[in-house]
Amino acid sequence: MMSSSNNSHDHQDQEQGIPPPSTAFHMRQLLVSCADLISQSDFSAAQRLFPHLLSSNSSPYGDSTERLVRQFVRALSFRLNHHSTPTRTSTAPLDFSPPLFPPPCTTNTNNKMMMISYESTDLETLRSCYLSLNQITPFIRFCHLTANQAILEAIQVGQKAIHIIDFDIMHGVQWPPLMQALADRSNNTLHPPPMLRITGTGHDLNILQRTGDRLLKFAHSLGLGFQFHPLLLLNNDPTSLALHLPSAITLLPDEALAVNCVLYLHRFLKDDSRELLLFLHKIKALNPMVVTVAEREANHNHPLFLQRFLEALDHYTALFDSLEATLPPNNRERLAVEQIWFGREIMDIVAAEGEGRRERHQRFETWEMLLKSVGFSNVPLSPFALSQAKLLLRLHYPSEGYQLQILNNSFFLGWQNHSLFSVSSWH
C-alpha cells in the first residue's frame, strides 16, 4: 500500500509539471518555477511548490546544491509571506532555519518596500563569519591583495606620508600586509618609512576603535608611524558620508592620497545612480593618487525580480560549488559562512524590495561606465599583481576550479567559467 500511495503522489506531481527533486537540475527548475510564480503574483501556486523544495534534498548539511536550495527556499518563503495578499491562509514564513541562522525580521512589510533587519545576528557572530569568509575563500584576500599592490605601485618610493581612506574598513584585515610591504620597501631602498594615516568608515564606533588599536600595534611593531581616524556612518547609510565629503576628511598637503572601495560602491545604488555619481564626483575632487575598486561580478540590481533571482542563483551556485570543492563536508566555518553571511545576502537580494534592498551588485561594465563618466581613468594592474594573485591561489586554494582572468586592464576571479569578483584601479 505504501508503494501504491507514493506512486500516486508521483503521478500527481507529474500532472502538475513538478519534476522529481532528485538532481541539481530539477531542484534549480523548481526554484525558478517558484520564483516565476511569485513574480506573477500567483502566490497559491508558488506555495504548493514549497513541500517539494523542502524535501530531503534541501539539507543544511548536504551537498552544495542542497545547501544552496535551502537558502533560496528560505528567502522565497520570506518574500512570499510578505508580498502576498492578506487573504492567504499561511501568515508566517516556513520554519526551516538551522540553529546557526537567526530569523530575520521586517521593518516594513507593505508591498512597495520591505527591508530585512539582521540585528538578531550579534556583531561578534558576524565578525567571526567575516573572518572565516576571509580564510576559507580566496575572494576577499584576492581583492585586498590586488588593491594593496595597486596602491603600492601608485605611490612613489620615498613618499613621506600616505593617507588611505578605506570605505567600510570592517576589521582592517586588508592593511597589515600593506604595512609589511611598506616597511620592506623602506628597508630595501634605504628611504625612511612613510607616515601612514588611515581613515576608516563604519557603522559601529567600538569596532572602529578596536580596529584602529590593532592596526596601531602592528604598525609600531614594524617601526611605521601610524594614525587611525574612525569615521562613523549614520544609521549605516553611506549617503550620509557622501553629503559631507570632503569636509569630513582631513587632508594634509604632503600626503599621497589613496581611496579604497572594496565591496562598497554597490551600497550607493538605488533605483538610479544619482547618489553614487555624487559620491564619485566628491572622491574625484579629493584628487587621489589611486582609487581601488572591488565588486561582485553579478547584476543583483535588476529592477525585475525574476531576472535578479536568476542572477543570484547563478552567482551563489558558483560560490557554493567552490566551497564544496575546497572544504570537507561538515566544516563548521563553511556552514556558518553559507548560512549567516551568504544567507543574509541571498535573503536581501530575493526577499527585500524598494529602498530596503542593499545588496545591489553590478557587473564591471557598469562601474567602468560610471567611473569614466566622472573623469576617472582605468590604471592597468601590473604583471607583479597578477603573479601575486596566482601565488595566493596556488598556495592557499589549490583547486583547479578557480579561474583568474584579465579584461579591460582589470582582474576577474571566478569559479570554473563563472566570474564572481572584479578588482580595478583608477586615477
Indicate which CATH number applies to the domain containing 142. 3.40.50.150
Q: Tell me whether residue 170 is in a domain.
A: yes
Q: Tell me whether residue 130 is in a domain.
A: no
Q: Tell me whether residue 97 is in a domain.
A: yes
Whether residues 105 and 35 share a domain: the answer is yes
**Angle at CA of residue 359, ends 355 and 361, nearest 5°:** 115
Which residues, 6 or more positions from 104, have their beta carbon under 8 angstroms from its beta carbon? 78, 116, 117, 118, 120, 344, 347
User: 316 is in which domain, residue-wise?
Assistant: 19-124+301-356
Q: Tell me whether residue 26 is in a domain.
A: yes
pLDDT at 86: 43
Instruction: Tell me the C-alpha distance between 226 and 235, whole Å.
Output: 28
Whether residues 306 and 215 share a domain: the answer is no
Q: Tell me whether residue 245 is in a domain.
A: yes
Residue 244 phi/psi, 5° resolution?
-110, 0
pLDDT at 58: 63
pLDDT at 360 over 50: yes
402: helix, strand or coil: strand
3-state helix vs strand vs coil in the chain, percent to 5: 50, 15, 35
84-106: pLDDT as tens digits: 644 333 334 444 443 333 333 33
Cis bond before residue 21 (omega within 30° of 0)? no
Residue written as cell 525558478? 32
Whether residues 184 and 310 share a domain: the answer is no
8 A C-beta contact, residue 172 and residue 211: yes
Q: How many domains does the chain divide into?
A: 2
Instruction: Tell me the C-alpha distance between 203 and 233, whole Å.
Output: 5
Kindly report the number of other CB atoms within 10 A of residue 223's CB atom.
Answer: 11
Burial of 97: CB neighbours in 10 Å, binned 0-12, 13-18, 19+: middle
Whether residues 183 and 230 share a domain: the answer is yes
Q: Tell me whether residue 115 is in a domain.
A: yes
263-305: pLDDT as tens digits: 999 999 987 888 899 999 999 999 999 999 999 999 999 999 9
Q: Tell me whether residue 4 is in a domain.
A: no
pLDDT at 196 over 90: yes
Read off the pLDDT of each residue in 350-364 and give the average, rounded to a whole number. Answer: 91
pLDDT at 81: 85
Chain-centre distance for alpha carbon 418 = 16
Q: How confident is the model at residue 77 (pLDDT cuts 50, 70, 90)?
A: very high
pLDDT at 84: 61
Q: Tell me whether residue 370 is in a domain.
A: yes
115-169: pLDDT as tens digits: 444 444 577 888 899 999 999 999 999 999 999 999 999 999 989 999 999 999 9
How long, in residues, is the chain? Answer: 427
Instruction: Tell me the C-alpha distance between 263 and 170, whole Å.
Output: 11
